[in-house]
Structure formats: structure tokens, C-alpha cells
Structure 1
Amino acid sequence: MSTSSSFIGGTRAPAWRRITAWLIDWLFILILPLLLVPVGVVVYSAGLRLPVGLWNLVSFLLLIAPVTLWCARRESGRFQATPGKRVRGLIVVDARSGGPIGFGRALLRNTAKIALPWELGHTVAYGFATAAPNPPGSLLVLTIIVYVIMFAWLGALFLPSGRTPYDLLSGTRVVRPQAP
């Protein structure tokens, strides 16, 4: 498998470069949960008990949505990259033109990449945390779906095209930019 395929806008980003970029991004992303956990502890200690579905919604609104929006903003317009991608020398481009993508496409990309699997993972975690000793079959099916998504996203990085399902959905490609 060649990792030096050239495209309009740059050269195919190697899988390991994309993975390490994502790990660097998570160092930034983890700042938000670190700030939110003490608030959650105080709220819980004060006796506030919410239904599981409401906790899931709160975590989506305070954690998943802001992270998804932040990544979309960084990958759209002039930035074309999250901090991890910038450190690793990568940018997100339109798969056809090689140019920058707009916020809408970056949001679609990051919704499929981040929000969907993260929210499904939260739903599974909340479900198992509150399920009786025998969880419902639907929760087990959803767990399998979460793992299939995670492995599909990761495995696609190692295909010859290097384009993940969320890249295909949003019409994007992650590349190493061409030298001017």
C-alpha cells in the first residue's frame, strides 16, 4: 500500500499521522471534561438526581456538541485543521477541488466522526449503568453497533484511499499539503 498518493491539494495523509493527530486533539478535548467533572460532583453531592435520558442530554449539550463544533470550526475555512492535524502537518480539503471546506461540511464530517459514536457510547454507558443484572437485548445490539463504527472508522484509515466513512460522507480528504 502506497502512502504517497498525490491528490489535488496535497499528498495522502498516512494513517499513523492521522491517529497521532487525533491523540493530540484529545489532549485539548479532555480539558472540557476536566472542567465539567467537578461541577457534576457538586451537583450530584447536592442531591440532584436526573433521569438517565436527561443526564445523557446534558452531557451531549455540555460536552459532545461543543467538541464537535470546535473541531468543525478548526477544519473549516482558513484553518483547515484541528491543532493535532496542524502539529502533524495535515489539513482537511475538498476531495474534488483540494480547496478548503466550509463550516457545514466540516460540521457534517465531525458529527459523523465525533458526535455520533460518542453519543452512542454515552447511551450504552448510561444504559449499562442503570440496567438491571440482565440488560435488554437492544442495549447489547447498540453496543455492537458502537464497536462496529469505531473499528470501521479506524480500519478505513489503513485502506489504500485512506478515506474514512465520514470523509466519504462529507466529500473530504485529509492530506499533507503540497509545498508552495
Structure 2
Amino acid sequence: MTSSVPVLRPKFGVRLIALLLDYAVILGWMLVLAISTLVPYSITGEFFDWLALGTAGAQFLGFLLLVLPVGIYLYVGEASTRQATVGKRVLGLRVVDAMNENRPSRLRIVIRTIVKLLPWEIAHFVVWNIVANAANGEFEFPLWLMVTAVAANLIPFVYIAFVAFQKDRRGPHDLVAGTRVVVSTRQKLDG
């Protein structure tokens, strides 16, 4: 069944504002994490030593506390009946299946979320390896780590460039998942 809602390509600025609104939500979660870190510090006078878990353990804990909750936020919003995160909802956008403009499958939303968060996780990998090296007094970092650090900083710009210049405003996460973001006139149709 094809959607009866007209589908329009969103402008780049609208997509960017939606992204910034979603980052405000994410920053809210990061504030909660910061406060939950400061409370034990105010009692003990010491911060938890993430590196005591090893580089992989610290990265995994960071994934559990930050990346996974953000991924759940993105997934729940885009897999919902509104097909949108808070930022997209505010601006009248929604995620659709690129082939038929219907609601995407949950698997497509999972893939979209993983690809969207991949640069973030690569950056965390780099940071934890740099911190671990520095904690061991090693300030000359291996070439692979420096190349990965540069890539981690460039990939988000590539994602944004795709959305800015690709015909349907589809980022790599949309292209891989088979989705796209559209302007929804559902608001006008519903009310």
C-alpha cells in the first residue's frame, strides 16, 4: 500500500536544524551523565578510573552509557508511528522507505541508526586509545591511530555533505538503510 501523504524533499537547512534539535536532546542526556559523575566525585573526591577496565572496557562502558542510549533514542523515534525523532517531529519531517515511501521496517531503522552512529563510535575508539597511550606516558601515537583520528573527524563532514548535495538529501545512513527523510504534510492532513 502506498502512502497517501505527499512526499517532498526537505531543504538542507531544515535537516540541519532537526539535527541540532536532536543534539540538544543528546546533550541533555550527556548532562545527566556528567551530573551522575560529579555526585560520586563530590563524595569521594575521586573520579572513576575508566582505564582501570582497559581500553576496550572503557570504550564498552562509554558505549553502554552514551552511544547505546542515543541509539535507542534515534531508533525509538524513527521506528515509532511518527517515524521521527524530536528534531524531525518539530520540523515536520519523517523517515520513510526510499523505495515505496511507506513506513520503513524496523530492520531498516536499526541499520540507519548503526550507520549514523558509526562515526561517533570510531571517534570514541580513537579517544580511548589516545587517552590510554597518554596515561602510559606515550605521546608519540602510532600512524594508524592518527589516520583513524583524522578520518573520525572528517566522516561527519562527509555525512553532512551527502545530505547537502545528494539529490534526495540522503546521507550515507539513508543510502545504506534504504530510507530517506521527507517533509510530511501529515500535520495539515490530520488537523
TM-score (norm 2): 0.82
**Aligned to 2:129, what secondary structure does the other structure show?**
helix
Q: Is the alpha carbon distance of 1:105 and 1:25 closer, same or farther for their aligned partners in structure 2, counting shifts above 3 Å?
A: same
Q: Is the alpha carbon distance of 1:54 and 1:173 closer, same or farther for their aligned partners in structure 2, counting shifts above 3 Å?
A: same
Equivalent residue in structure 1 for 2:58, among 45, 55, 58: 55
CA shift digits 1:87-121 (9 cap, x unpaired): 1111101111111112221111011112x111111
**C-alpha displacement of 1:137:** 0.9
> Does residue 78 of the first structure (1) align with residue 81 of the second (2)?
yes
C-alpha distance in 2 between matches for 1:112 and 1:120: 11
The structure carrying a bigger helix percent of its residues is: 2
Q: Structure 2: where are the runs of 5+ without partners?
A: none
Alignment of 1:15-164 (within 5 A): 15-41=12-38, 42=40, 45=46, 48=49, 49-114=52-117, 116-131=118-133, 132-159=138-165, 160-164=167-171
**% identical equivalent positions:** 31
Larger Rg: 2
Equivalent residue in structure 2 for 1:173, among 165, 175, 180: 180
Q: Is the alpha carbon distance of 1:11 and 1:97 closer, same or farther for their aligned partners in structure 2, counting shifts above 3 Å?
A: same
C-alpha distance in 2 between matches for 1:65 and 1:93: 23
* Structure 1 outlier segments of 4+, above 4 Å: none
C-alpha distance in 1 between matches for 2:99 and 2:108: 13
C-alpha distance in 2 between matches for 1:144 and 1:95: 32
C-alpha distance in 2 between matches for 1:19 and 1:76: 21
**Aligned to 1:175, what secondary structure does the other structure show?**
strand
CA shift digits 1:45-76 (9 cap, x unpaired): 16653322211100101110111122111101
